[in-house]
Amino acid sequence: MVAYIVRRMLLAVLTVWAISILSFIIIHLPPGDYVTSYIASMSASGSAVSEGEAAALREQLGLDQPITVQYFKWMGLTLRGNFGMAMEWGRPVVDVIGDRLSLTIVISLAAIIFTWAVALPIGIYSAVYRYSFLDYVFTFVGFIGLAIPGFLLALIVMYVGFAWFGANVGGLFSPEFAEAPWSLAKAWDLTKHLPIPAIVLGVAGTAQLIRIMRSNLLDELRKPYVMTARARGLPEHRVILRYPVRVALNPFVSTIGYLLPYVVSGSIIVSLVLSLPTVGPLLLKALIAQDMFLAGTIVLLLGVLTVIGTFISDLLLMWIDPRIRLGRQ
Amino acid sequence: MKSMRPAAVLTALGLACVVATGLGETAAQTTAPADTQKIGASLIGKLEGPSVVTDVKDFPKTFKEAPTLDALVKSGKLPPVAQRLPEPSQLLVIKPLNEIGKYGGNWRRAFTGPADHENGNRINSADKILTFDYTGTKIVPSLARDWKVSPDGKTTTIYLRKGAKWSDGKPLTADDFMFWYEDIYLNKNIVPTPFFEFQINGKDGKMRKVDDYTVAFEFPEPYSFFVYQLAGSTAIGAGLATRGAFQNWGGAYAPAHYLKQFLPKYSSEDAVNKKAKELGFDNWVSLLRNRYSWALNPDLPVMTPWKTVSPINTPTWSMERNPYFWGVDTAGNQLPYIDRITMTLAENIEVANLRAIAGEYDIQERHMGLSKLPVFLENAKKGNYTVHLDPGLYGSDVTLHMGNSYEGDPEIAKLLRNKDFRHALSLGIDRDQLNEAFWLGVGAPGSVAPAPDTIYSPGPEWNKKWAQLDVKQANDLLDKIGLTKKDGEGYRQRMDGKGRLRLEMITVGGSFVPFTPVAEMIKQQWKKIGVDVDIKELERNLAFTRDNNNENQIITWANDGSEVLFLFPRHALPVDAAEAHMGMAFARWYASNGTAGKKPDDPEMLKAFDLFRAAYGMNDEDRTKAAKELWKIIVEQEWSIGTVGQSPAFMGVRIVKNNMGNIPSRQVNAQHVRTPHSSWPETFYFK
Amino acid sequence: MSGDPVAVQETASADGATLSGGLAKGAGSLAEQRIAVATQWQLMWWRFRKHKLAAAGTIVLALFYLVAAFADFFAYADPQDSDAQRSLIAPQTIHWFDEGRFAPYVYALKGTRDPMTFKRVYKPDPSTKIPITFFARGEPYKLFGIIPADRHVLGVEGADTGKSLFLMGTDTQGRDLWSRLMFATRTSMTIGLVSVALSLVLGVVLGGISGYFGGTIDSVIQRIIEILRSIPTIPLWMGLAAAVPSDWSVVQVYFAITIIISLIGWTELARVVRGRFISLKHEDFVMAAELVGCSKSRIIFRHMVPSFISHIIAATTLAIPAIIISETSLSFLGLGLRPPAISWGVLLQDAQNIQALVISPWLLIPSFAVIVAVLAFNFMGDGIRDAADPYL
C-alpha cells in the first residue's frame, strides 16, 4: 500500500515535469512573443511603440534568448517559489492569480453545488420512474443545457437579466460594492450575483450527471438486495435512498478528483462572456498576450491540480471500494 | 409504457423558431424612414470646446478649491489653495465651454485590463508640454506656459510655470527636465536607441537648462517642426503620464526627487538591484520601468489633474483629484471639477457596451461599437444618456495596405508594385456597399487622404481619386497589364501560366472595426473584375510578425493618425521600422538611412521619402505645402487603398449621461489631440 | 469455439420475455424462437427501436446528413453573395394562398436606413407578387462535386431567387441565412465525423494495446493520457491552432482543426477501451481461445473486440456532440474555422453580440441547429448504449 503511494507520487512528479515542458512549448508555439503582441495591441488602440523601445523591452524581459534558456530560467524561479512577473500587469504572478483565486473558487463551488443539487435528484427520479413522462421531460431539459453553446447562453442570460430584471450586467458585484472592503453587505451582494454564473456554468454538467446517476442507480435497483428489502416491507423511499443510491454514488467519488482543476480555473469562455473576474479570462488574455510567466504558471498550476486530483480520486476509490484494495494484494 | 412524442419536442422547437422570427420581423419594420438627410448628421454636433486663456490680464485673482479638500486644508495636511497653485501669472487658465462648473462627483467608465492604459492617459493628458486646441489645429500651452522657436529653427525653448508643483507638493523645475535627459534618456541601459522625434536627419538633439524655469531643445539643423512633436502624441511630447504608462521613458521630464532612489547613479547598482529583486523584479531597470508608470504606481508624483489611487492592475482603476493641479477656470476655481474617476473592469467588449446601454457609465467613448448604434439609441431615454458621434479625420478605417516589399511570389510581387494593378483593385471596390453594411451609412467612402477640412488635405477631389467604383476602367487596366486570360469562372489567370491569379489578404479579428467581414465583401466585389482573393484572418500578433518579415501581400489595417502626417506617419508611408504595413523592408531602409532593409525601386516612393525627410526641417508654410504634395503622391500611387473613413467607428461613439455639463456636442476625434483631452475633461462636471 | 453467440443466447433467453413483449404481442412462442436464433445485431436493433427518443434522434440526424450531402440543393442562394441593400432583412412572411389557391408567394422588399434609428427598414411592395416554386432551376452546382445540376428545393418565378427570397432573413452583409445554414450544416456535421473517426482509431489502438498487454506499456500510455488530460484544453487549442501554418488553405486548416480536436478527444475512448480489455482479459472464453492456440491478433479481433464493439459505438456516438460544441467554442476563441468558411461556429459568431439579440434575433437561428444536432446525437447514443448492454 505504502509502496503504491510512493510509486504514484514519483510518477506524479514526473508527470508534472512533463506538463511544465509541454506548457512552455505550447505557450511559445504561436510565432512572435510578448513584445510583438504588445506592439500590435498598442497599434490597435492608436498608439505607437518605437523599434528601439521594442528591442529594449525584449532584452529586458529576456525574450531574445533561446527557448531552452528561458525555460530553465523559469523552472529555476518556479522551484524557488517565485513565479515571475506578469508582464502586462507589472505585478508578481502569484499576486495576480491570488487576487482572483478566491472568487474563482467561490463561483466554481456554486456551480458544482448547483449541478449536483439539480442533477442527483433528477437522476434518482429518472431511474426509479424509468420511461415515465417526467423522466423524458427531465432528461430532455437536462440535455438542453448540454446542447446550448455556453457562450451564447451566457450572453442571452446576461441580456435577459438586464432587460427584464434590471440585473447588473455581468460581473460579480454591484458597482457600489466593487471597490468597497469586505463586509457582510458585500458578501450578500456577491451571493445575489451568483445565481446567473452558477446556472450558466452548471447547466452543461447536469445532463452528464443525470445520465450517469440514472444508469448507476438502474444497475443497483436490479440487484437482489433491493428486492429483498422491498419484500421485507421497508418503505419505498428508504429502500431506494438508503442503499442503492449510496452505492450508485460511489463512481462519483472518482470524478471528484477532476473537479479540483475546474474549481481553480473555472470556465474560461463563460467567464469571459459574463465578465467574471476569475482565473479563466486571465489565462486566456495571458495566452493571447503571450505573457509567458503568467500563462505558464496558470497552466502548470492546473496541470498539477489535475495530477493531484487524479491521485486523490484513486485513493478515495481504493478506500471506498474494498474490491480494488483487495485486488491489489 | 408512456412515452413523450418526439413530434411534440420538434413542434416546440419550431414554435420557438417562429416566435423568434416574428419578433425579428416586427423589430425591423416599425418606423418609417424620415426625409433624406446625410445619415448620422442628427448625432454629429458642432465642433466646440473650452479654450486656454493666454492673456494674463484675464487671469483670475482669487481662488477656490474643491470641498473635499477643505478638511485636509483645515487639519494642516494640505497648504491652502493659493499656495498650492503656481504664481498667479503663471497659471493655466481654461475658459470652460458653457459655464463654470460645480465640484464633486465620480466619473464612471469601463476599461478592459492593464493594457488599456490609454483609456486613462487620454483623460489625463494635461501634463503634455504643449497641446492642441479643441479644433486640433492650433498649438496652445499646457505644462509649459509658452514657447519660442528660434528664427533658424534649430532651437525650441519652453517656459515652465513658476510655482507649479508635483502632486506631492515639490516644485517642478528645469532640473526635472535635465534629470530626465541626463539620467534616463542618455543612459543606454534604459533607453538604447534615441527617439526618432528627438533627431533631425538622423542627428541627435540636445536638451539644455537655460534657467530654473526655462529649457531649450537644440538641434544641429533646422527643425522648426519640433514644436509640433512637443504638442502631439509623441514619445517626447505626450507627457509623463502617457509615456510612463507605455513604459517607454518618454515625456521629456520626470520627478527627480522620487525616481532618484531607483537609479544606480544615486546609490549603487547592487543596492538598486537588491531592491528590485525584493519586489519581484528581475533588475533595477524593470523596477524603474514599473515605478515610472502613473497607472501602475500610485506613489509616483504626477502633474496630471487626477492621480491613481487603485492601480490599473486591479479590478478597479480609480483616480482622485490631484490637489496640486496647476490649472483653474476663469473664475479662479482650481480644476478639475470632478473628484474621482472609477473605471471598472469589463473582461469583454459586449459587457462594456451593455453596461453603457444600462446607463452605468457617465462619459464613455472608448470601446463603444458603431454597429451597436441602433441599440444605444433605443435605450437612450431609459438609460438617460445622449449619443454623440465624433467622426475621425483620417481617410480610411479599413485600409488595404499593399505589401510593396513582398517578395514571396514573384508574379504577385510584380503586380503589387504595379500602380495600374493597385488602381484596378481600388476601382473594383464598391465603397457605398461597404459603408452601408458596416458603417451604417455614416462613414465617407474614399481614398486614404485625410478629411478635406484638415490642414494637410490636398483638396476634396483627392478623397475621390481612384476611389470610386468603376468596374469597366478596372477591367481595362487589368487587361492592359496583360491579365487577359480568364478561366471558366471568370477569374483571371496568372501570366506565368501557374493557374488562377489569387491574392492573399490578411485580416485581423476582434478589433474596433470589422476587418474580416469587410474583406469578405470586397472579395465578392472583386469577382466582377476577375480577381480572386484568399481571406485569412490571423491573430493580430501573427499578422504583425508577418508584416515585419514582408510576408503579407495585402493586409487590412486602419490608417488612423495619418491626418497628422508628420506626427504619425506610419499608416501613410513605410518610414517607421516599428510598424510598416506597406513595406517593412523599405521602412527599415528609410529609418536606418540606407544601412538596413531594402531600397525601394519605385521612384515615386523615393521622391516621397526625400520630401518627407526634408519636411521636418521646413517652416510651417513650406511644410504644409510639402504635406499636400505628399498626399497627392500617396493617393496617386495608392500604396494603400482606402475604403471608408472619416467615421466615428474608432472611439467616435460617445455616450454621455444627461447630467454632465460642459460636454461639447462634437469633439475632435484624433490621436494627436489625445481625444478626449482636447475637450479638457478637467472642465466636465456633474450638474 | 468462439464464445459470442453462446453468450448472447444466454442473455437472450433471460431477456426474451421483455423483448418478445415488445415485439409481437400474441405471437407468443414464435417471437421467442426468433429471439433465440437472432444475432447480436438484430437484438440490438429490436431494442433500439423501442427507445422513442433514440428513434426520433436517428431520424433527425438522418435529415441533417441529408442536408449535409445535398446542401447545394437545399440552399437556394449563393451563401457568399453579399449586398448591403439586403442587410439585416428579417425572415419574410410567406403568403400561402393566392386568391384561394395554394400558391405561395412573397412580396418584393424595398429597403432604406432610417436616419433617426439607424436601423435598416424594409417595406414589402404589395404590387409585386413573387411566386415561390418548388424544385426550381437556379444557380448551377456540382452534386458531390461531380454531377452537374441546377435544381434547388425552392425558387421564385420572374426574379432572382437570391434577391427575393429570405426564409430566415439575412445577415449584416445581406447574405441569405437559410442558404448559409445549409452549407454550415454540411461543414459542421462532417467535421464531427472525421474527428471522431480519428479519435476512434487512436483510442481503440492505444487503449487496446494498453489494456491487453498491461505492464510497462500500459503505464507509459496511461501517463501520456494523464499528461494530455492535465493540460487545460484552451491553451492546448491555442498552441496547436497557432502552429497551423498561416499559408494553408481553408480546407487544409479545416482538416488541421479536426485533427486537433480529435487529438484531445481520443483519451476518453482509450480509457473505455482499456477498461473493457482489462475486464475481458480474464474471461473464460479468452483463456479458452489462448489454450486452443489462437494467435494474439485473432483473440483480440475475433473474440474480444466484437463483445464490446457496441459499447465503442455508443461511446463514439456520444463523443460527437462534444466535438460539435468544441467547434463552436473554437470559433468563439477565434481559433477554429473562420470566415469565409461557413460552419455553425462561424454563424454563431455573428450572433454573439448585443445588436444581434436586440435588433436582429433571427441571427440566432443556427443555434437551434446546434442544439437539435447535439440532442439527437445524445439520444441516439443513449439508445445504442441501452440496446447494446445485455444486462439492462
Average of per-residue pLDDT across A164-168: 81
Instruction: Give bridge partners of residue B345 from the DSSP assignment.
Output: B111
Q: How many residues does chain B have?
A: 687
Task: Give me the pLDDT at residue C364, please.
Answer: 94
Q: What is the pLDDT of residues C349-386, one digit of tens each?
A: 989 999 999 999 999 999 999 999 998 988 888 888 77
Our CA-based measurement puts residue A321 at a distance from the nearest CA of chain C, in whole angstroms, of: 17
Cα C126 from Cα B180, distance rounded (Å): 74
- Cβ–Cβ gap C332/A211 under 8 Å: no
All cell numbers assigned to B672: 494627436
Record the cell numbers describing residue B22, joined without a space: 416574428
Cβ B193–A31 below 8 Å, yes or no? no
* More confident position, C264 or C285: C285
Please judge whether C90 and B6 are an interchain contact, meaning their C-beta atoms are less than 8 angstroms apart.
Answer: no
pLDDT (tens digit, 9 = 90+) per residue, A256-267? 767 777 777 768
Q: Is C107 on the interface with B (CB under 8 A)?
A: no
**pLDDT digit string (tens) for B170-179?**
999 999 999 9
C326 pLDDT above the threshold of 90: no
What is residue B23's predicted lDDT score, i.e. its pLDDT? 38
Could you tell me which residue, C268 or B401, shows the higher pLDDT?
A: B401
- A-chain CB neighbours of B248 within 8 Å are 49-50, 53, 57
Q: What is the pLDDT of residue C17?
A: 40
Q: Compute φ and ψ for B274, nearest 5 degrees.
A: -65, -45
Looking at residue C21, what is its pLDDT? Answer: 41
CA B651 to chain centre: 9
Average pLDDT over residues C13-27: 43
Q: What is the DSSP letter of B308?
A: E
Mean pLDDT of A10-29: 84
How many residues are present in chain C?
Answer: 392
The answer, yes or no, to whether residue B678 has pLDDT greater than 50, is yes
Return the pLDDT at B513.
82
In the predicted model, is pLDDT for residue B530 greater than 90? Answer: yes
Written as nine digits, the cell of A34 is: 510578448
What the block records as the C-alpha cell of B373 is 448604434
Beta bridge partners of B656: B363, B386
Average pLDDT over residues B503-532: 89
Angle at CA A146, nearest 5°, toward A140 and A147?
A: 85
State whether C231 and A307 contact (CB < 8 Å).
no
Asked whether C372 and B547 are in contact (CB, 8 A), the reply is no
Distance CA A150, CA A148 (A): 6
Question: Do C231 and A211 lie within an 8 Å CB cutoff?
Answer: no
Residue B503 CB-density burial (10 A; 0-12 exposed, 13-18 middle, 19+ buried) = buried
In a mutational test of the A interface, the residue from B1, B112, B248 whose CB has the highest number of chain A CBs within 10 Å is B248
Are the C-beta atoms of residues A314 and A8 closer than 8 Å to each other? yes
How far is residue B72's CA from residue C157's CA, in Å, rounded to a whole number?
81
Q: Which of B82-91, B600-609, C152-161, C251-260 has the lowest mean pLDDT?
A: C251-260
Mean pLDDT confidence for C126-139: 84
Q: Compute the nearest-CA separation of B527 from chain C (Å).
A: 10
Q: pLDDT (tens digit, 9 = 90+) per residue, B125-165?
A: 999 999 999 998 899 999 999 999 999 989 999 999 999 99
C-alpha cell at A126: 429518472
Give mean pLDDT, residues B250-279.
89
The whole-angstrom separation of Cα C120 and Cα C125 is 16
Q: Does the structure show a pLDDT above 70 at B22?
A: no
Cβ distance C235 to A152 less than 8 Å, yes or no, reads no
Cross-chain CB nearest to C328 (options A30, A136, A149): A149
Residue position matching grid coordinates 446607463: B359
Q: Angle, to 10 degrees, between the axis of helix C215-230 and the axis of helix A292-320? A: 130
Lowest mean pLDDT among A75-84, B234-243, C7-16: C7-16
The reply to whether residue C230 touches residue A19, judged by beta carbons under 8 angstroms, is yes
- Residue A246 or residue A184, greater confidence: A184
Would you give the DSSP letter of residue B371?
A: G
Band of pLDDT at residue B28, cut at 50, 70 and 90: very low
Longest dimension (CA), chain A: 86
Contact A48 B579 (CB under 8 A): yes
> Are the Cβ atoms of C91 and B21 closer than 8 angstroms?
yes
Name the residue among C84, C117, C372 with its Cβ closest to that of B374: C117
C358 CB neighbours in chain A (<8 A) are 159
Q: Name the more confident of B667 and C53.
A: B667
Nearest residue to B133 via CA among B686, B672, B549: B672
Q: Name which of A16-25, A76-85, A175-184 the model is least confident about.
A: A175-184
Band (B217; pLDDT cuts 50, 70, 90) = very high
Contacts of B4 in chain A (CB under 8 A): 133, 136-137, 140
Output the pLDDT for position A325: 60
A25 contacts C239? CB cut-off 8 A: yes
- The answer, yes or no, to whether residue B20 has pLDDT greater than 70, is no
Supply the mean pLDDT for chain B.
88
Which residue has 475512448 as its cell numbers? C269
Those chains having 3 or more beta-carbon pairs within 8 angstroms of chain B are A, C
pLDDT of the residue at B18 = 45
User: Residue A52 and residue B192: Cβ atoms within 8 Å?
Assistant: yes
Residues in contact with C232: Cβ distance below 8 Å, sequence separation at least 6, in sequence order: A261, A265, A268, A283, A299, A302, A303
Q: Is residue B6 predicted with pLDDT exceeding 60?
A: no
Nearest C-alpha neighbor of B197 from the set B245, B249, B145, B158: B249
For the whole model, what pTM was predicted? 0.86
Contacts of residue C14 in chain A, CB cutoff 8 Å?
none
Q: Which amino acid appears at position A218 of this protein?
A: L
pLDDT at A163 over 80: yes
- The ipTM value here is 0.84
Cα nearest neighbour of B651 on chain A? A45
Average pLDDT over residues B216-242: 89
Q: Hey, of A65, A77, A89, A152, which one would you mutate to test binding to chain B, going by the most B CBs within 10 A of its CB?
A: A89
**Alpha-helical segments (H) within A148-223:** 150-165, 175-178, 184-193, 195-221
pLDDT of residue A171: 77
- The DSSP-derived string for B366-380 is SS--GGGHHHHHHTH
Q: Is A26 in contact with C375 (Cβ distance < 8 A)?
A: no
Q: Is B436 on the interface with C (CB under 8 A)?
A: yes
Q: If DSSP codes are grouped into helix, strand and coil, which group holds residue B295?
A: coil
Q: Which of residues 74-113 of B touch A (CB under 8 A)?
A: 108, 113
Query: All 3 cell numbers of residue A27?
Result: 505557450
Judged against a pLDDT cut of 80, whether residue A181 lies above it is answered with no
What mean pLDDT comes out for the span B506-517?
A: 83
Per-chain mean pLDDT for chain C = 80
Q: Which three cell numbers stand for residue B199?
A: 533627431
Nearest to C239 among A11, A27, A304 (CB): A27
Provide the 3-class DSSP secondary structure of residue C247.
coil
Can you tell me the distance from the alpha carbon of B541 to that of A47, in angstroms, rounded to the nearest whole number?
15
| Single-letter code of the amino acid located at C314 | A
Three-state DSSP class for residue C336: coil
**Sign of the Cα pseudo-torsion (B600, B605, B611, B615, in order):** negative
In this structure, the dihedral spanned by the alpha carbons of residues B24, B27, B33 and B36, taken in order and rounded to 10 degrees, is -70
- What does the pLDDT read at residue C6? 32
B286 vs A130: which has the higher pLDDT: B286
**pLDDT reading at C10 higher than 70:** no
C129, three cell numbers = 407578387
Highest mean pLDDT out of B351-355, B537-541, C100-104, C191-195: B351-355
Reported as a pLDDT band with limits 50, 70 and 90, residue C243 is confident
What CA–CA distance (Å, rounded) separates B644 from A221? 69
Residue B346 sits at φ, ψ, to 5 deg, of -120, 115
Task: Give the C-alpha separation, C199 to C212, whole Å.
Answer: 19
- Phi and psi of C333, rounded to 5°? -80, 0
Q: State the pLDDT at residue A78.
A: 81
Whether residue C24 is predicted with pLDDT greater than 90 in this model: the reply is: no
Report which of A303, A300, A298 is spatially closest to residue A96, judged by C-alpha positions: A298
Do strands B554-557 and B502-508 pair parallel, antiparallel, or not at all (unpaired)? parallel
**At A307, which amino acid appears?**
V
**The pLDDT of residue A239:** 76
State percent of chain B over pLDDT 70.
94
User: What is Dmax (Cα atoms) for chain B?
Assistant: 101
Confidence tier at C391 by pLDDT (50, 70, 90): low
**Contact yes or no for C361 and B538 at CB 8 A:** no
At A322 the pLDDT is 64
In contact, C377 and C59? CB cutoff 8 Å: no
Q: What are B375-410's pLDDT values in tens digits?
A: 999 999 999 999 999 999 998 999 999 999 998 899
Best mean pLDDT range from A44-53, A268-277, B602-611, C28-37: B602-611
A75-134: per-residue pLDDT in tens?
A: 888 888 778 888 788 888 888 888 888 888 888 888 888 888 888 888 888 888 877 788
Which chain A residue lies closest to B196 (C-alpha atoms)? A50
Q: Is A233 exposed, middle or buried (0-12, 13-18, 19+ CB in 10 A)?
A: exposed
Residue C162 predicted with pLDDT over 90: no
User: Are C348 and A284 an interchain contact pair (Cβ–Cβ within 8 Å)?
Assistant: no
pLDDT tens per residue across span B251-262: 899 999 999 999
**What is the chain C residue with the closest CA to B504?**
C247
Confidence of residue C7 (pLDDT cuts 50, 70, 90): very low
| Residue C205 to residue B612: CA distance in whole angstroms | 66
